[in-house]
Amino acid sequence: MTDANAQGTAALTQPTSDNSGRTVPNRPAATTRRYEAPDADCVRGSEYSEILTLETEQRKRAAEHRRKRGHKHPDHAHPEQERSHGERHGHGEHREHGKSHGKHHGHRLDDDSGLAHIRRDLAESIATRADSLTAILKAIHAHPETAYEEYFASRTLVDAVREAHPNLSVEYPAFGLDTAFKVELASADYDPAKHRTIAILSEYDALPGIGHGCGHNVIAVSGLGAFLALADALATGPEAFSGRVLYYGTPAEESDAGKELMARAGAFEQVDAAIMVHPYFIDVADQAWLGRRECRVTYTGVSAHASSHPFMGRNALDAANLAYQGLGLLRQQIPGSDRIHAIIDHGGDAPNLIPATASLHINIRSKHAPTLRALSRRVEEVLRGAALMAGVSAEVTWDSSPMTMPVRTNRPLLKRWVSAQRSVGRHPYPPGTVSDTLAASTDFGNVSLRVPGIHPLIQIAPEGTGMHTVEFAHCADTPAAVDAALDAAFGLASVVLDYLVDDELAEAVRADFEASGGAVDVEGYFSDM
């Protein structure tokens, strides 16, 4: 019986000879059938996309309504959004000194605390360096490098620091990683017993085959611009702030958790807070970032002839198949924010042999550290149960590449980020605007459970553009990406300034962190499973 969608070919071959001169028997050519997917498959998942889009729009409207209710002059809510890149960053013909980041919408930014002039200095520094920062953003985009291969990107960032401030202490490579670096900026009066330390993080690794489909070139320049602006401010006025700023280059965020390796090498032991920013398809203060663990299981049974003596075997592939089905059933009993995705990466060597070995490669994700641990236990129980049913042994290995933990966002720091973004004409939507269904993972979560931190998102792409796509990679090299990098640089620098000079803020940051669970032993978190 034939299928209307199937296309097959078959033909007889002529006798041939191998290199020894022996004749190879005639064999018919293989028949191959290709089944084209029905039209419906081409838009599979579109209904989910429509629901998520509607949900996001509803949340945005609610956020807009709340925001406008809080403004005395809602008709002036977005006056700076229409400004060009040049006007926003100090290149307009009629720009007055410091005004690019000085216009406020609805509230004033610490004008009574003596920081206004320092903020103007930060803004001026970023505006002055805009051309060089743009060139670096484009250069890193044009030279995509995958995990632990980011030699061009890391060297470019380090060279930029050395050129701007040759007297700063630079460690490169750092923390046992060839493409990590550490730069230290401290005030003249810095005393570790009295003053705080905050770290600014830059990522710069790319995706295989896609390049900067996650926009890490934007992250790199955002961190660099923020750090150089703070260094410029301290060079201009040594009294600008008291404290220490560390600038970290963090390789291998994509799938290999470079920040966790840096943390285990001591990168965050003397750090009080850490901040970074990530590009996205919308300006949103915070988004769910799931913890992720990797699991591999190998089943070992007994091989036998699949036809004459199958009863003498113990089928490892049966166990792998049972495990895969069990994980699928488990999905019905986990929250929507959890994830289980797996492949059978080995299922035997020949169909006439009972497979003696089979294996699965599994990723799991969860929104909270305790639920990630709970999900880990349930997954391992499924894997063990499959082994029992098939009568085979199982070897389960977790985290052959370091796990990533859920991001814990520090709310007082996040409020300062939002205020700084409003001052440049951006109005980040509040946390929860984007559905948790769209959540991914990042190794910044490992940092945020050790010290207070923020990981806000800034728009570089049209709404709905998915990360880890060719389209997002294109957006990472556009004027919108440049604008975002410069705005983010000011936002990060402003948060650093606030944190170092504002004792009340620092106390609020500490209190929020402790109320959220305090520092976690990330390295040993799953050791008691």
What is the pLDDT, as a whole number, of residue 20?
Answer: 59
Per-residue pLDDT of 302-337, as tens digits, reads 999 999 999 999 999 999 999 999 999 999 999 888
15: pLDDT strictly greater than 60? no
Q: Is the pLDDT of residue 474 over 80?
A: yes
Residue 67 has pLDDT above 90, yes or no: no
Q: Which residue has the tokens 């990530």?
A: 278
> 73-77, 268-272, 304-308, 382-386 — which is least confidently predicted?
73-77
Q: Which of 61-70, 105-114, 116-125, 481-490 has the lowest mean pLDDT?
A: 105-114
The whole-angstrom separation of Cα 176 and Cα 218 is 25
Q: Residue 285: left (phi > 0), alpha (psi -120 to 50), or beta?
A: alpha
Return the residue matching tokens 């909270």: 368
Instruction: Locate 214 and state its tokens.
Output: 């996650």
Confidence class of residue 14 from pLDDT cuts 50, 70 and 90? low
- State the Cα–Cα distance between residues 349 and 354, nearest whole angstrom: 9
The pLDDT value given to residue 335 = 87
Phi-psi region of 102 (alpha: psi -120 to 50; beta: other; left: phi over 0): alpha
The 10s digit of each residue's pLDDT in 337-396 is 899 999 999 999 999 999 999 999 999 999 999 999 999 999 999 999 999 999 999 999
CB atoms within 10 A of CB 244: 21
Dump pLDDT digits (tens) for 222-267: 999 999 999 999 999 999 999 999 999 999 999 899 999 999 999 9
- Tell me the Cα Rg of the chain: 27
Residue 50 binned pLDDT confidence (cut-offs 50, 70, 90): confident
Neighbour count for residue 178 (Cβ, 10 Å): 14
Closest listed residue to residue 279, CA positions, set 56, 489, 107: 489
pLDDT, the chain, mean: 87
118: left (phi over 0), alpha (psi -120 to 50) or beta: alpha
Check pLDDT > 60 for residue 288.
yes
| Whole-number Cα distances in Å, 491 to 223, 266, 371, 459, 484 | 10, 27, 32, 14, 10
Residue 58: per-residue pLDDT = 82
Asked if pLDDT for residue 77 goes beyond 80, the answer is no
Q: Which residue has the tokens 């660099």?
A: 224
Which structural domains are found in the chain, ordered by start?
A: 81-288+407-515 (3.40.630.10), 291-398 (3.30.70.360)
- Which residues face 185 on adjacent strands? 245
Question: How does strand 197-203 pair with strand 291-300?
Answer: unpaired
Q: What is the mean pLDDT of residues 186-205?
A: 97
Q: What is the pLDDT averaged over residues 475-495? A: 98
Q: Is 315 helix (H, G, I), strand (E, B) or coil?
A: coil
Which three-class secondary structure state does DSSP give residue 43?
A: helix
Strands 34-35 and 6-7: antiparallel
Distance, first Cα to last Cα, the chain:
53
CA 329 to chain centre: 29
Parallel, antiparallel or unpaired: strands 339-346 and 357-366: antiparallel
